[in-house]
Amino acid sequence: MKKQVLLLALVAAIVGGWNSSGLQLPFVDARAPVDATRPVDAGTQTSADDALAQAFSARRSDVQVRGEGVVSAILADDNQGSRHQRFVLRMASGQTVLVAHNIDLAPRIAGLAKGDSVGFNGVFEWNAKGGVIHWTHHDPAGRHIPGWLRHRGQTYE
């Protein structure tokens, strides 16, 4: 059944892509965001964990992902070039991913602490350590899907 659904989704993507009702295909498409908060259907739920695991195992980059994780480590800011607030999220699956949040374009997450839950919408880039999520901010030029982070009810974009 799952193979049939995936085959049908592939055909739909080739023929028409995303339909006007906003149906998401049950695989990671680098051109469109993965909504980890909404199931595709009862049999083929796509989650942030699944999307990140698929992108990581396939060594894919430039994959738009959305989901939530728990802060497992807070790292020093990266001040080389554009400044980035950096922290590690642990997904429900146990996979960890670095978040590099551009604080020259979006506000720093105030009061971020280990154990906090953080929602995200950004771009996954593969690396051997688990990957990086970046583009968690608006694009001043308006050419990129806007990203964001959510912490304690506040959105940082």
Q: What is the CATH number of the domain that holds 65?
A: 2.40.50.200
Q: Please give the Cα distance from 99 to 117 (Å, whole number).
A: 13
Residue 2 in domain: no
Separation of alpha carbons 103 and 143, rounded Å = 19
pLDDT in tens, 100-149: 999 999 999 999 999 999 999 999 999 988 899 999 999 988 898 999 99
Domain that holds residue 149: 27-156
Count of structural domains, the chain: 1
**Mean pLDDT for all residues in the chain:** 76
In a domain, 119, yes or no: yes
Q: What is the pTM of this model?
A: 0.70
91 vs 73: CA distance, rounded Å = 13
CB 93 within 8 A of CB 49: yes
Q: Is residue 4 part of a domain?
A: no
Residue 16 belongs to a domain: no
